[in-house]
């Protein structure tokens, strides 16, 4: 049976894989695992529970809250807030556990369950495995005053916004920004944080109705943002995903600025201020070669990890690094947050614009991008991607075809039922040709 937890919690179709029963059972099992590990020792346990605006989050958060309270955990239900806000509140309140109901950038019918440990960090793999093993076990239920209490708390948003703004090295006065909130969890707090920091803010994609999250807006659909930036004569546009743990940007001409370029801009800014820990940036194998070359020229070391922000965080904690992230826009600033935070990223990107008085296009030009092609192959058994001999042979042939002028990466998605084929080369046509050929082999060999 495949592992229930993926690279970012449990994710799938709400009321399909991710049911109310599963949400309740996972919460009970998490309480038991953490309790047996001594996390709750000597005090009454407390958890923070939040969600994005998906309609399914309403019943799933209720199920999570019921499960935790039935296991004797007091719950602060903070409602609709970004994933990084939940992580921050767990740390700020010294809570024992956090749970976020969100499928991030996935379509509205999906939902997910993400757990945070004390301090606001994601649970390590071994703790997730322990939770999965203890699903639906027999247990002695607390009664009377020992059951958990539930408190509906509307104060988390203000706490989170104040924290975000407090991290800035300078204000954003004079910067006009269009912010696309993906009709998601940042629809209120994203614009509020930018305005509080002094920016002139134009807002799009901030009318969540439970059904429209990520629908034509946000970091996976940049077209409305590009158009709005040009229409309003803005200096910059920023786009979050549904739970606002990632951020992408566009410059004043509407040209995309991806996560690699954002990380490069922030790394150079932090190094100039003398606060880039060990002069090191942590990236994944998906990051563009152009980023690594630019950092090398600037005297900044790049450390690579497997794909997934949890692996970036693990390496950052191990090496005591302060900045890392993914090309997708997950940027981790561990001096200020315990997880990727799209709003935090956008604030610091804009702070660099305001401080340097330099257009985003010019800042981004310091991080050139080699042509990179990504093909998502759906309808295949992603679990066999690394085992099929014909697929392995095709990867080897693709690498030989590029003859040292590029690279190939094939990997199963950790959050979606597909295999990603990435090809990077000095020539865009060659990258597309190799990617299409390799994707065809994957599709033929691994078809369901």
Q: For position 401, which CATH number holds?
A: 3.30.310.50
Cα gap 84→342, rounded to integer Å: 8
Asked if residue 4 belongs to a domain, the reply is no
For residues 120 and 93, the answer to whether their CB atoms sit within 8 Å is no
Asked whether residue 207 carries a pLDDT value surpassing 70, the answer given is yes
Cα gap 385→392, rounded to integer Å: 8
Q: Strand 331-333 relative to strand 323-325: parallel, antiparallel, unpaired?
A: antiparallel
Q: Which of 98, 129, 154 is the last residue of a domain?
A: 154
Q: Are residues 124 and 201 in the same domain?
A: no
Asked if residue 280 belongs to a domain, the reply is yes
Q: In what order do the strands lie in the sheet with 74-80?
A: 10-13, 110-117, 97-101, 46-51, 74-80, 150-152
Q: Are residues 49 and 180 in the same domain?
A: no
> Residue 242 CB: number of other CB atoms within 10 A?
33
Q: Are residues 255 and 384 in the same domain?
A: no
Q: Are residues 135 and 172 in the same domain?
A: no
Asked if residue 411 belongs to a domain, the reply is yes
Three-state SS string across 27-52, please?
HHHHHHHHHHCCCCCCCCCEEEEEEC
Asked if residue 5 belongs to a domain, the reply is no
Q: How many domains is the chain partitioned into structurally?
A: 3
Asked whether residue 233 carries a pLDDT value surpassing 90, the answer given is yes
Cα gap 161→192, rounded to integer Å: 7
Cα gap 347→269, rounded to integer Å: 13
Q: Are residues 189 and 91 in the same domain?
A: no
Asked if residue 434 belongs to a domain, the reply is yes
Say which range, 61-65, 120-124, 409-413, has the weakest mean pLDDT.
409-413
Q: Are residues 211 and 93 in the same domain?
A: no
Q: Which of 103, 132, 154 is the last residue of a domain?
A: 154
Q: Are residues 293 and 315 in the same domain?
A: yes
Asked if residue 435 belongs to a domain, the reply is yes
pLDDT at residue 413 in the model: 82
Asked if residue 109 belongs to a domain, the reply is yes
Q: Which of 347, 364, 381 is the last residue of a domain?
A: 364
Say which range, 199-213, 286-300, 339-353, has the weakest mean pLDDT.
286-300
Q: Label residue 307 by pLDDT band (50, 70, 90).
A: confident
Q: For position 345, which CATH number holds?
A: 3.40.120.10
Q: Are residues 202 and 229 in the same domain?
A: yes
Asked if residue 1 belongs to a domain, the reply is no
pLDDT at residue 334 in the model: 97
Residues 6+ positions from 284 with CB-CB distance below 8 Å: 304, 305, 306, 307, 308, 311, 312, 326, 327
Cα gap 247→341, rounded to integer Å: 8
Cα gap 420→361, rounded to integer Å: 29
The mean pLDDT value for 212-221 works out to: 97
Task: Give the range of the structural domain holding residue 116, as residue numbers without chain letter.
Answer: 10-154
Q: Label residue 217 by pLDDT band (50, 70, 90).
A: very high
Q: Are residues 347 and 400 in the same domain?
A: no
Q: Are residues 184 and 97 in the same domain?
A: no
For residues 276 and 377, the answer to whether their CB atoms sit within 8 Å is no
Q: Which residues are catalytic?
A: 104
For residues 12 and 416, the answer to whether their CB atoms sit within 8 Å is no
Residues 6+ positions from 4 with CB-CB distance below 8 Å: 10, 132
Cα gap 79→82, rounded to integer Å: 10
Q: Are residues 301 and 398 in the same domain?
A: no
In DSSP notation, 209-253 reads -SS-TTSS-STT--HHHHHHHHHHT-SEEEEE-TTSS-EEEE-TT
Q: Name which of 426, 421, 419 is nearest 403 in CA terms.
A: 426
Q: Are residues 37 and 77 in the same domain?
A: yes
Which residue is it, tokens 């001594």? 38
Distance (Å) of CA 382 to CA 285, 313, 442: 19, 25, 9
Residue-wise pLDDT for 368-425, tens only, equals 888 889 999 999 888 888 888 999 999 998 888 887 677 898 888 876 778 999 998 8
pLDDT at residue 1 in the model: 61
Helix (H, G, I), strand (E, B) or coil at 339: coil
């Amino acid at each position: 049976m495949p592992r229930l937890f993926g690279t970012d919690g449990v994710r799938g179709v709400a009321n399909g894989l991710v049911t109310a029963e599963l949400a309740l059972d996972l919460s009970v099992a998490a309480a038991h695992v953490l309790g047996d590990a001594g996390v709750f020792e000597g005090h009454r346990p407390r958890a923070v529970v939040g969600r994005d605006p998906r309609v399914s989050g309403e019943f799933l958060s209720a199920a999570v809250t019921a499960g935790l309270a039935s296991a004797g955990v007091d719950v602060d239900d903070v409602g609709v807030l970004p994933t990084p806000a939940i992580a921050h509140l767990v740390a700020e309140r010294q809570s024992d556990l956090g749970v976020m109901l969100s499928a991030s950038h996935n379509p509205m019918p999906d939902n997910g369950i993400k757990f945070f440990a004390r301090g606001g960090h994601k649970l390590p793999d071994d703790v997730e495995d322990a939770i999965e093993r203890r699903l639906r076990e027999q247990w002695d239920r607390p009664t009377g005053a020992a059951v958990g209490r539930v408190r509906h708390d509307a104060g988390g948003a203000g706490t989170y916004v104040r924290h975000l703004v407090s991290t800035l090295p300078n204000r954003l006065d004079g910067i006009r920004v269009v912010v696309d909130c993906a009709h998601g969890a940042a629809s209120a707090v994203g614009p509020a944080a930018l305005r509080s920091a002094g920016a002139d803010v134009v807002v799009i994609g901030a009318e969540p109705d439970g059904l429209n999250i990520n629908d034509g807006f946000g970091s996976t659909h940049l077209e409305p943002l590009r158009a709005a930036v040009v229409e309003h004569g803005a200096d910059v546009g920023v786009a979050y995903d549904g739970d606002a743990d990632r951020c992408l940007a566009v410059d004043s001409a509407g040209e995309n600025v991806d996560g690699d370029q954002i990380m490069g801009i922030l790394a150079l800014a932090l190094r100039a201020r003398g606060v880039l820990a060990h002069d090191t940036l942590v990236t994944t194998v998906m990051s563009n070669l152009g980023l690594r070359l630019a950092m090398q020229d600037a005297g900044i070391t790049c450390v690579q990890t497997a794909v997934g922000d949890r692996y970036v965080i693990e390496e950052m904690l191990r090496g005591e690094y302060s900045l890392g992230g993914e090309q997708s826009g997950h940027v981790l600033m561990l001096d200020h947050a315990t997880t990727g935070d799209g709003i935090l990223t956008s604030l610091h990107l804009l702070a660099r614009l305001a401080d340097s008085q330099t257009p985003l296009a010019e800042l981004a030009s310091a991080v050139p991008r080699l042509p990179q092609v990504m093909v998502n192959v759906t309808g295949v058994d992603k679990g066999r991607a690394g085992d099929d001999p014909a697929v392995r042979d095709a990867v080897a042939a693709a690498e030989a075809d590029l003859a040292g002028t590029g690279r190939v990466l094939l990997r199963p998605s950790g959050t979606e039922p597909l295999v990603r084929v990435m090809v990077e080369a000095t020539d865009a046509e060659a990258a597309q040709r190799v990617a299409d050929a390799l994707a065809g082999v994957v599709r033929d060999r691994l078809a369901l």
